[in-house]
Amino acid sequence: MENCLFCRIVRREIPSRIVYEDDLVLGFYDIEPKAPVHILLIPKAHIASLNDLTQEHSDIMAHLTLVIPKAAEKMGIKDSGYRVVVNCGRDSGQAVAHLHYHILGGRAFGNDFG
Ligand code: 5GP
Ligand code: ZN
């Protein structure tokens, strides 16, 4: 998608601090971290949100999910634990319409998802 922020990051038109990359996914630091470690993991292909997933995305989503613990290990939070957040749509506060996993760690989280 031409003007999608995260597609532009994939194309290196906007700089980011990349922590993981393979053919299908990209992981990079969130620009406004909400925890000592806060990275975003995205499919390189443009998928706007969870609501836009189809059966055709099964392989890429399985892969994206399998990369989560690899990225967490690389960031040093695999054993201490981490939170994975996906926002979808208006009420969630999703600001960027390109599906992304937030991976947050380096501190303890409560059970308040407020
Ligand atoms: P959302 O609210 O859509 O789930 O999360 C979007 C995330 O993208 C936010 O945490 C925000 O800080 C992050 N973000 C917004 N613009 C940029 C950017 O240009 N670069 C990076 N690395 N992160 C961004
Ligand atoms: Zn996109």
- Write the pLDDT tens digit of every residue in 46-70: 999 999 999 999 999 999 999 999 9
Question: Is 110 part of a structural domain of the chain?
Answer: no
What order of strands is seen across the sheet that includes strand 18-21? 18-21, 25-29, 37-43, 101-105, 82-85
Q: Residue 32's domain spans which residues?
A: 5-105
The whole model's pTM is what? 0.97
CATH number for the domain spanning 9: value is: 3.30.428.10
Q: What is the pLDDT of residues 13-55, one digit of tens each?
A: 999 999 999 999 999 999 999 999 999 999 999 999 999 999 9
**What's the total number of domains in the chain?**
1
> What's the CA gap between 98 and 44, in Å, rounded?
9
Does residue 32 lie within any of the structural domains?
A: yes
Q: Which atom of ligand 1 is nearest to the CA of 28?
A: 22
As for ligand 1, residues whose beta carbon falls within 6 Å of it are: 5, 14, 16, 28-32, 40, 87, 93-96
